């Protein structure tokens, strides 16, 4: 090891010698990292180190070429840095521990090592007795404090890696924290003992530069802060009623959410679109609380750009806000490399002033914006501000404008929350810490490894138990996980002794009920013969109910052997299932859930408006789900296939092809078998639609809107069986393209069987609207 190090050193030295002559450029040879790799963020000038799991690049992650020397990212003094090495991730040691002992005592701790604390006699312990070094370099549990009950406020403790100045805890007494060399302080550096017995601000944390928050940490801490329902898990904690700022988002309450998106460093479309997706999910999350905040959306690079202003009347219409966001293109900012965070925040400030002027014009006094409106600023950045000056004073001006902390410390603090999400290694947490709010037992600063981690965090947030019953919501980021991507799809098998097993698909519409096709069952089938598979588990069925108007043999006297009008059925499970990421309901038309999924106001939105939005004139893109064979493994996967519901001039020709089905030779008028209950897909115009296969029957025809999934049809029958016995391969549609142009599929339109759905699902809590 020693020897190889020296060798590298010599090579580096030689590199220096040879490249000394070439002016301006840095020598890539000098940038190599021991035990890892690097990639160029900007060819020849900025690179990023990568280390294997459990290691981090030391002394820096990003290296930049200044003149002809490799230096740290944005180091004003451009000091050269030493050779880069991948080091083991480890946890820092306690610098101070008052009134007790801990062991083992080491200069640092390896991942999975444990620290054990003990208090001296006469002292009580708060926080965790044992703490474990976690894989991302943070300690598990909470700061351990040995305290004796003296003082007005309790001893606030010393977080690991920090030193505390001040040991008197009377009203107005102040403590001050410092972090060990190389660690960054996140949270409050100063805390003041308040009359209520609580300390101002939030507990500081001393973070290593390589430490990121996990998506799980972000989702739990951000959402508990945002919804204010979190209580300290510490049973000893004395919390006064005023300190527990409970319901910040009161239903019907007035709230402004400003989303400030850094578009400068987001190199490339993909990142920018991912950032948009994150905002979309955030709006989703907030919509789930039945509040209709006004949104302000601002992007910034060199200059800020207001996408949505809270002064726009439509800013409380989440659907419109998301559409505006969708229109936003990365190109709008891509020619501007600077990160002018100050300008971004100034736009928020200006929006507040404009809103006040609006209120003044309307004759409102006092101004709601300053008195009753809660303001949440969410700043998403993947860089450091490098132009326009310090952004922190703008937060000061906003606080001043909103009358926060004017009369006394902590006054009206509830009316403003500033959250900062730093994504990637360019983020300096100390800088963003200055902008964020600091509130007791809440987190406002987060640092994530990448946008994917951020998406995951927001998916987790939407996923918490109360939101599980939200319909038509899937975990999109796990592209390989079919169940999580399509958590409402169920498989139904009907066992007919002596005649084998028939399979169909269905959808979960509530905790107990499955929607499927009536033709999956014969008149003799009983519930006991039916099994429903949700995720990987089988569930017994208690009842089967087909639509009363469904009569397959109704037209037999006309020589038409099969007739599928009203081809829908409901299965009731013996027991309620528990919703999870793998088992979740889909949205049905004309329910409150769909109103929310469409981000329309509830209860004002009508069933007709659902139909207008979803089934507008045209060739409506919709999707169905079909199993397929994965190419390289011999496993069965599931794919979403896009088709177009013909609700245009193509509708007639689509329906006319029904007569080409072999069972419909005797049909004289197509309307005999294609009633107004059917939706038609398939064919080659305006594009080639894939076709459903036999086993897809009973499954959903879905319209996706803003990442929510609404079922509009139940797959019933097709003109041609294009699949036969062979499962198609997952990544090719070519088998489908060979289907004849008259290969059409017919689905029961759920809008046309609503009276029955309403009646049968009355008890299922779906909240049908009129």
Instruction: Write down the least CB distance from residue 119 to ligand NAG, Å.
Output: 13
As a whole number of angstroms, the distance between CA 268 and CA 271 comes to 6
- Active-site residue 152, yes or no? no
Smallest gap from Cβ 381 to ligand NAG, in A, equals: 28
The nearer residue to ligand NAG, 131 or 641, going by C-beta atoms, is 131
d(CA 6, CA 13): 10
Instruction: List alpha helices for 328-477, DSSP H.
Output: 331-334, 341-361, 368-371, 392-401, 429-435, 451-463, 465-468
Q: Which is nearer to ligand NAG, 608 or 665 (CB)?
A: 665
Query: Which residues are CB-neighbours of 18 under 8 A, at least 6 positions away?
Result: 27
For residue 256, the SS3 value is strand
Nearer to ligand NAG, 103 or 685 (CB): 103
- 182: contact with ligand NAG by CB under 6 A: no
What is the closest distance, in whole angstroms, from the C-beta atom of residue 276 to ligand NAG in the complex?
30
**Closest separation between CB of residue 673 and ligand NAG, Å?**
12
Binding ligand NAG (rule: CB under 6 A), the pick from 20, 553, 561, 621 is 561
Catalytic residue (one of 459, 567, 689, 745):
567
Which of the following is catalytic: 287, 347, 440, 697?
A: 697
Of residues 22, 78, 110, 501, which one binds ligand NAG by CB under 6 A? 110
Separation CA 213–CA 454 (nearest Å): 10
Which CB atom, from 364 or from 558, has the smaller least distance to ligand NAG?
Answer: 558
Closer by beta carbon to ligand NAG, 586 or else 673: 673
Site string for ligand NAG, 88-107 (x = CB under 6 A): x-------------------
Nearer to ligand NAG, 657 or 696 (CB): 657
List 190's β-bridge partners, or say none: 176
At CA 323, angle to CA 322 and CA 325, rounded to 5? 60
Name which of 116 and 762 has its Cβ closer to ligand NAG.
Answer: 116
User: Rule CB under 6 A: is residue 765 a binding residue for ligand NAG?
Assistant: no
Positive or negative torsion for Cα 106, 112, 114, 115: positive
**At its nearest, how many Å lie between ligand NAG and the CB of residue 561?**
5
The values of phi and psi at residue 53, to 5°, are -50, 140
59 versus 151: smaller Cβ distance to ligand NAG: 59
393 contacts ligand NAG (rule: CB under 6 A): no
**Does the protein bind ligand NAG through residue 580 (CB under 6 A)?**
no
Tokens (6 digits) for 640: 């979403």
Helix, strand or coil, per DSSP, at residue 530: strand
Q: Can you tell me which of 116, 270, 576, 762 binds ligand NAG, judged by CB under 6 A?
A: 116
Taking CB under 6 A as the rule, does residue 397 contact ligand NAG?
A: no
Measured from the CB of residue 88, what is the shortest distance to ligand NAG in angstroms? 6
As measured in angstroms, the least distance from the Cβ of 441 to ligand NAG is 21
* Residue span binding ligand NAG (CB under 6 A) among the ranges 197-205, 310-318, 661-669, 687-695: 661-669
CB nearer to ligand NAG: pick between 50 and 609: 50
Strands 90-92 vs 130-132: parallel, antiparallel or unpaired: unpaired
Does position 538 bind ligand NAG by CB under 6 A?
Answer: no
Please tell me the number of Cα atoms within 13 Å of 720 on its side-chain side. 17
Per-residue contact flags (x/-) with ligand NAG for residues 32 to 51, judged by CB under 6 A: ---xxx------------x-
Whichever of 52 and 396 has its CB closer to ligand NAG, that residue is 52
Instruction: Check binding of 140 to ligand NAG (CB under 6 A).
Output: no
Minimum distance from CB of 36 to ligand NAG (Å)? 5
Decide: is 553 part of the binding site for ligand NAG (CB under 6 A).
Answer: no
Least gap, CB of 578 to ligand NAG (angstroms): 30
Q: Contact 509/588 with Cβ under 8 angstroms?
A: yes
CB of 128 to ligand NAG, least distance (A): 7
The yes or no reply on residue 665 touching ligand NAG (CB under 6 A) is yes
Nearest residue (CB) to ligand NAG, 36 versus 450: 36
- Region of 249-257, 435-443, 660-668, 675-683 interacting with ligand NAG (CB under 6 A): 660-668
Which residue stretches of 646-697 are H helix?
Answer: 651-656
DSSP 280: H
Question: Does 135 contact ligand NAG by CB under 6 A?
Answer: no
H-state helical runs in 20-69: none
Among 130, 236, 250, 501, binds ligand NAG (CB under 6 A): 130
* Nearest C-alpha neighbor of 103 from the set 121, 89, 111, 115: 115
Contact characters 721-750, ligand NAG, x per CB under 6 A: ------------------------------
Residue 142: in which H helix or E strand, if any?
A: none
Residue 607 φ/ψ, nearest 5 degrees:
-60, -40
Q: Which DSSP string corresponds to 458-504?
A: HHHHHHSHHHHT-SS----S-TT-HHHHSTTEEEEEEEETTTEEEEE
Q: Is residue 686 a contact point for ligand NAG (CB under 6 A)? A: no
What torsion, rounded to 10 degrees, do the Cα atoms 62, 65, 69, 71 define? Answer: -30
d(CA 439, CA 417): 9
φ, ψ at 219 (rounded to 5°): -65, -40
52 binds ligand NAG (CB under 6 A): yes
Local structure of residue 578 (DSSP, 8 states): P
Backbone angles phi, psi at 121, to 5 degrees: -55, 140
28 binds ligand NAG (CB under 6 A): no
Query: Shortest distance, CB of residue 573 to ligand NAG, whole angstroms?
Result: 37
Within the chain, what is the greatest distance between any pair of CA atoms?
97
- Residue closest to ligand NAG when measured from CB atoms: 559
Rounded-to-integer distance, Cα 221 and Cα 137, Å: 18
| Residue 17: its H or E element | helix 2-19
Find the distance separating the first CA and the last CA of the chain, reported in whole Å. Answer: 75
Residue 119's SS3 state is strand
Stretch of 30-38, 361-369, 542-550, 616-624 contacting ligand NAG, by CB under 6 A:
30-38
Give the nearest distance from C-beta 509 to ligand NAG in angstroms.
35
Candidates 67, 393, 540, 559; binder of ligand NAG (CB under 6 A) is: 559
Q: Are 415 and 375 in contact, with CB atoms under 8 Å apart?
A: yes
φ and ψ at residue 415, rounded to 5 degrees: -85, -5
**Residue 262 annotated as catalytic:** no
- Name the residue nearer to ligand NAG (CB basis): 130 or 652: 130
By rule CB under 6 A, what count of residues binds ligand NAG? 15
- What does the chain come to in residues? 770
**Catalytic choice (375, 438, 444, 519):** 519
Contact between 666 and ligand NAG by CB under 6 A: the answer reads yes
Q: Is 178 a catalytic residue?
A: no
Task: Please list, in sequence order, all residues whose beta carbon lies within 8 angstroms of the beta carbon of residue 720, skipping any fewer than 6 positions away.
Answer: 660, 661, 691, 739, 740, 742, 743
- Dihedrals phi, psi of 64, to nearest 5 degrees: -125, 145
- Report the residue number, 37 or 529, with the smaller CB distance to ligand NAG: 37
Residue 599 Cα distances to 324, 351, 365, 503, 612, angstroms: 14, 23, 31, 36, 15
Residues identified as active-site: 519, 567, 697
List of residues contacting ligand NAG (CB under 6 A): 35-37, 50, 52, 88, 110, 116, 129-130, 559, 561, 663, 665-666
């Amino acid at each position: 090891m020693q020897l190889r190090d020296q060798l590298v050193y010599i090579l580096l030295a030689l590199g220096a010698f040879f490249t000394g002559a070439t002016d301006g450029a840095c020598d890539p040879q000098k940038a190599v990292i021991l035990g890892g790799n690097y990639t160029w963020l900007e060819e020849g000038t900025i690179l990023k180190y990568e280390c294997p799991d459990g290691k981090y690049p030391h002394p820096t992650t990003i290296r930049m070429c200044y003149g002809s020397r490799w230096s740290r990212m944005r180091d004003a003094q451009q000091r050269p840095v030493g050779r880069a090495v991948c080091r083991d991730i480890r946890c820092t040691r306690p610098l101070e521990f008052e009134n007790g002992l801990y062991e083992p005592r080491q200069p640092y701790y390896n991942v999975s090592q444990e620290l054990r604390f003990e208090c001296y006699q006469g002292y009580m312990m708060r926080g965790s007795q044992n703490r474990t070094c976690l894989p991302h370099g943070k300690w598990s549990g909470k700061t351990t404090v040995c305290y004796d009950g003296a003082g007005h406020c309790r001893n606030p403790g010393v977080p690991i890696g920090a030193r505390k100045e001040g040991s008197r805890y009377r009203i107005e007494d102040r403590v001050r924290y410092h972090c060990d060399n190389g660690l960054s302080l996140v949270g409050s550096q100063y805390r003041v003992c308040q009359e209520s017995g609580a300390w101002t601000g939030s507990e500081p944390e001393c973070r290593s530069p390589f430490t990121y928050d996990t998506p799980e940490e972000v989702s739990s801490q951000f959402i508990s802060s945002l919804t204010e329902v979190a209580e300290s898990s510490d049973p000893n904690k004395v919390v006064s009623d005023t300190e527990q700022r409970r319901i910040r988002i009161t239903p019907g309450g007035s709230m402004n959410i400003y989303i400030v998106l850094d578009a400068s460093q987001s190199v490339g479309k993909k990142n920018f679109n991912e950032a948009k997706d994150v905002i979309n999910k955030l709006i989703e999350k907030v919509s789930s609380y039945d509040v209709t905040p006004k949104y302000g959306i601002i992007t910034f690079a060199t200059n800020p750009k207001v996408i949505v202003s809270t002064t726009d009347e439509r800013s409380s219409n989440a659907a419109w806000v998301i559409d505006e966001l969708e229109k936003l293109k990365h190109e709008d900012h891509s020619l501007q490399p600077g990160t002018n965070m100050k300008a971004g925040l100034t736009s928020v400030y200006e929006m507040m002033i404009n809103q006040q002027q609006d209120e003044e014009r309307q004759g409102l006094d006092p101004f709601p914006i300053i008195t009753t409106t809660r303001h949440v600023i969410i700043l998403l950045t993947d860089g450091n501000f490098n132009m326009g000056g310090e952004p922190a004073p703008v937060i000061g001006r906003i606080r001043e404008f909103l009358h926060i902390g004017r009369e006394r410390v902590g006054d009206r603090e509830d009316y403003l929350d500033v959250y900062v999400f730093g994504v990637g290694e360019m983020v300096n947490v100390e800088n963003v810490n200055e902008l964020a709010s600091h509130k007791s037992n809440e987190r406002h600063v987060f640092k994530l490894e990448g946008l994917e981690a951020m998406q995951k965090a927001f998916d987790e947030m939407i996923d918490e138990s109360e939101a599980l019953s939200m319909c038509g919501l899937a975990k999109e980021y796990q592209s390989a996980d079919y169940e999580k991507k399509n958590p409402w799809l169920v498989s139904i098998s009907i066992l007919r002794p002596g005649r084998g097993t028939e399979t169909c698909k269905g959808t979960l519409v509530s905790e107990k009920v499955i929607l499927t096709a009536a033709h999956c069952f014969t008149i003799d089938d009983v519930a006991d013969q039916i099994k429903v598979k949700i995720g990987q588990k089988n569930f017994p069925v208690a009842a089967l109910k087909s639509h009363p108007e469904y009569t397959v043999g109704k037209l037999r006297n006309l020589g038409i052997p099969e007739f599928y009008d009203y081809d829908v059925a409901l299965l009731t499970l013996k027991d309620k299932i528990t919703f999870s990421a793998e088992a979740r309901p889909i949205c049905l038309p004309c329910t409150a859930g769909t109103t929310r999924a469409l981000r329309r106001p509830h209860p004002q939105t009508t069933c007709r408006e659902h139909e207008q939005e979803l089934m507008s004139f045209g060739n409506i893109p919709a999707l169905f789900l079909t199993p397929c064979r994965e190419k390289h493994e011999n496993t069965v996967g599931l794919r979403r296939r896009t088709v177009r519901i013909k609700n245009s001039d193509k509708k007639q020709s689509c329906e006319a092809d029904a007569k080409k089905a072999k069972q419909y030779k005797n049909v004289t008028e197509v309307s005999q078998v294609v009633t107004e209950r059917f939706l038609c897909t398939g064919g080659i115009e305006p594009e080639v639609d894939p076709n459903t296969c036999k086993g897809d029957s009973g499954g959903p025809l879905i319209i996706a809107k803003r990442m929510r999934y609404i079922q509009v049809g139940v797959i019933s029958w097709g003109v041609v069986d294009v699949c036969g016995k062979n499962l198609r391969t997952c990544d090719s549609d070519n088998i489908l393209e060979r289907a004849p142009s008259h290969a059409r599929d017919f689905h029961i339109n759920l809008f046309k069987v609503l009276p029955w759905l309403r009646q049968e699902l009355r008890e299922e809590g779906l909240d049908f609207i009129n």
